[in-house]
Amino acid sequence: MKHILLLGTGGTIACKRGENGLTPLLTGDELLSYVPDAKAFCEVDALQVINIDSTNMHPKYWLMLSRAIEEHYDNYDGFVICHGTDTMAYTAAAMSYLIQHSQKPIVITGAQKPIDLDVTDARTNLLDSLRFASCERAHGVTIVFDGKVIAGTRGKKERSKSYNAFSSINFPCLAVIQDDRILFYIDDKWQDKRRVSFCHTLNDRVSLLKLIPSMDSKILDYMAEHNDAVVIESFGVGGLPSNDSVDFYETIQKWVSQGKIIVMTTQVTQEGSNMSVYEVGKKIKADFGLIESYDMTLEATVTKLMWILGQTKDPDRVKDLFYQTVEHDILWNMA
């Protein structure tokens, strides 16, 4: 029988209603009391790492989770992190970079409704997650939610209320869980023979600029001045405005020359970016060698930069590391 460690972080799954709305109160041990059927296939210990609304998630907590798993890695067959849904995709991506080549499963789950309600998705999600964490073929960081198993670098919350809140973006689901059975679509555990590695540093001086029509390029000035990297969410397949009233070209030129990292991505969820299509993207990328996220999720783009900048700020090295595929995070690389 598999031995699983459940790590509690709070979130809706652990909430109870208070005077000011739902707030995380239940511990990991209390969550487990709602899924007694798990005793049929695994033994579970609980560790309460933090107990927060996931809106308050921070890179320092990702490092805490990674350290907790590292400290207990040899003593358990798998790990389940109970987490709020709002920033779950960021945490799943971050853990994918902090813990690489794990032959043991590290599953992240949560719920749209608290586990103590009569009608909730929490008990199913938690039971499915414990089942997947107990599976011999499972490995690496994944999100398990609404019967889907999603690579940690490919998850995104696309619905704010529905049970099928999470999707796998630009990549197939790894598996599905139905009627207590796991059906794998991608079964690649045995392809990676490297030992698990843990990273202990993140650089959170990464910010996001979401373009809107008429935006002043001086906003980028401010963000680049106060951060080591800026991710720009552009329109469509990617480009930057340059006209009589707005000129991002000169702003990009200034900050790139000073060693700042500028990464281009798209506001469109599916199919990714390709700045070579239109003049507004092709010229500025060619002139300044901008990094492009292509088919990566925003969550993976942001957390990968934090992981990379925790190791180096050399622009060439940053670009090399960014385009190296980690846990299925980038496939379409035209760099």
- Confirm whether 40 is domain-assigned: yes
- Confirm whether 237 is domain-assigned: yes
Give the pTM.
0.95
- Confirm whether 335 is domain-assigned: no
What pLDDT was estimated at residue 226? 94
Q: State how far the Cα of 263 lies from the Cα of 233, in Å rounded to an integer.
A: 9
169 with 220, same domain? Answer: no
Query: In this structure, what token pair is assigned to residue 204?
Result: 């959170």
In contact, 106 and 95? CB cutoff 8 Å: yes
- Confirm whether 220 is domain-assigned: yes
> Nearest to residue 96, comparing CAs of 144, 143, 148?
143
What pLDDT was estimated at residue 249? 86
30 with 79, same domain? Answer: yes
213 with 135, same domain? Answer: no
232 with 147, same domain? Answer: no
Query: In this structure, what token pair is assigned to residue 217?
Result: 């390029």
Query: In this structure, what token pair is assigned to residue 61?
Result: 């907590």
- Confirm whether 332 is domain-assigned: no
| Residue 250 dihedral angles phi and psi, to the nearest 5° | -65, -35
Catalytic residue among 12, 27, 109, 120: 12
Amino acid at 285: K
- Confirm whether 289 is domain-assigned: yes
Reported as a single tens digit per residue, the pLDDT across 35-74 is 999 999 999 999 999 999 999 999 999 999 999 999 999 9
| Residue 168 dihedral angles phi and psi, to the nearest 5° | -95, 120
- 89 is in which domain, residue-wise? 2-198
Q: State how far the Cα of 230 lies from the Cα of 143, in Å rounded to an integer.
A: 27
Q: What percent of the chain has pLDDT over 70?
A: 98
27 with 168, same domain? Answer: yes
Q: Which residues contact 321 (CB under 8 A, 6 or more apart)?
A: 308, 311, 312
- Confirm whether 328 is domain-assigned: no
Number of domains in the chain: 2
User: Which of 168, 198, 228 is the last residue before a domain boundary?
Assistant: 198
Q: Is 12 a catalytic residue?
A: yes
89 with 216, same domain? Answer: no
253 with 174, same domain? Answer: no
Given a cut of 70, the residues of the chain with pLDDT beneath it are 244-245, 333-335
User: Which of 143, 166, 198 is the last residue before a domain boundary?
Assistant: 198
User: Which of 140, 164, 198 is the last residue before a domain boundary?
Assistant: 198
Q: Which neighbouring-strand residues pair with 23?
A: 16
51 with 24, same domain? Answer: yes
> Nearest to residue 174, comparing CAs of 201, 136, 153, 148?
148
For tokens 């619905």, name the residue: 159
Q: State how far the Cα of 198 lies from the Cα of 147, in Å rounded to an integer.
A: 28
